[in-house]
Structure formats: C-alpha cells, structure tokens
Amino acid sequence: MIDDRTNNFNESDTALVQKLCDRRFGIGADGLILLRLHSKADFEMVYFNADGNPSTMCGNGGRCTVSFAHRLGLFEQETNFMAIDGIHEASIQNDIVTLQMQDVAEVKQAKDHYFLDTGSPHYVALVENIEAFDVYNKGKQIRYSHAFSTIEGTNVNFVEKISSQEIKVRTYERGVEDETFSCGTGVTACALALSLDDSKSPVRIQTKGGLLEVGWKKLGNTYTDIYLKGSAKHVFTGEVEV
C-alpha cells in the first residue's frame, strides 16, 4: 500500500511491482496498491496483482485503501474513491470498513457452478469438507480452462454452505496464481450466487483471512445496493529502496 499522491511511482514498471510483492526478495504481498488523488473523487485506488500487471477490481484492496486514506486524514467517516470499475462509496468505523460494490446484472447458473462478474470474473462452486479441498490444483485447472480463455481466465471460488446466512469460502486468484486468504469480490460473488439457492442477505463469510459480510437487494435478475463489510487493520509502516 503506497501513498502516491505525488504520482512518483512508475505504474508501467512491471518488474518493480513483481519485486516488491516477492515474498523472499521484496516486501511480500498478493498485490500492490497506489493511493492517488483524483479530480472526481476523494482519492483513487490503482491496483496491481503480484505478477506486476494492472488488475480488475479488488474488494478487500478497496477496503484497505479506504482504511489507509482514513489514516492519512483524507476523510473522517464517509468517502468515495475511484477504482478501475468506477466510483465506490465507503465508510469506516472502528477499523470496520463498509464498501459499496457495483451492481451485478446477472448470475449465470450451470450444472456444477455459477459464474458472475462483481468487478472481477468469478467461478463459484459448492463443495463439501472445504478445509481439505485441493483449492490450488482444482482452482488452477478451472482458471486456465478453455472455457474462460476469452476473458484471460477467471478467479475460482469454492464454497461450503453452513446455513442460509453463513458460508465458508476459499479462492484461487488469477494474477496471484495461488490461493489467497481472502478475496473481496470473490466472497461477494459467492454470496450473490447462493441467493439463487436459499441464501438471504446479509451473509456472513468465513475465510482464512477473517470474517466478512455481504449484503444486497435484488430487483428481478439485478443485484443492487451490494456492500462488502469487514475489518481492515494497519499492520506496519516501512521503507524500501527501489
């Protein structure tokens, strides 16, 4: 997470982003975020995957950027910011960030999975005994399958249902090319997809990275007023020579 309000970071330097995200020779991260000023919003989030490439919307990255901007004094409690998929409204209270997500027009239902776009494309499949599930290999297989080649692959989510308002989720993220501990757009996709079963808003989501909540309203096939809510805590501040 970099304070780049002076626009000093070279966003075309893919190798630098890769180096900073490297867990052995850099800082170590699933992605890199630049916080910049923006003419039409309080600030802008510019997000890169660990492979160094710009990515689609990152939900948890958005919540962390909101927390970061709050620490920098850019707003008090409510804010709005620009992301790759447009402007998002957000608020923070006692480290809990609530992020408004973009409307979702459709959830496609296949025989063994759901597919939808919550700012990033997501494949959602129900599984049993999720703790023992081979997320890496199965997720990688689906992510690189021919079915999703036209959209440069998809993120892959595996869900175990606990109740109509609680689920467990594990996600293989493209760009990171591994399982991540928590994916904001992914858990949002899972909650909306399972509403075609009997899930009811809001849904509590257990991930390896912590607890999240997703709420929504539904008008016909369109999901509106979607929010992603959870904790975003400051871990450390440091300096690195580049």
Report, as residue numbers or ranges, the catalytic residues.
58, 183
Ramachandran angles phi, psi of 129, nearest 5°? 50, 60
What gap in Å lies between CA 161 and CA 205, rounded to an integer? Answer: 10
Cβ 120 vs Cβ 104: under 8 Å = no
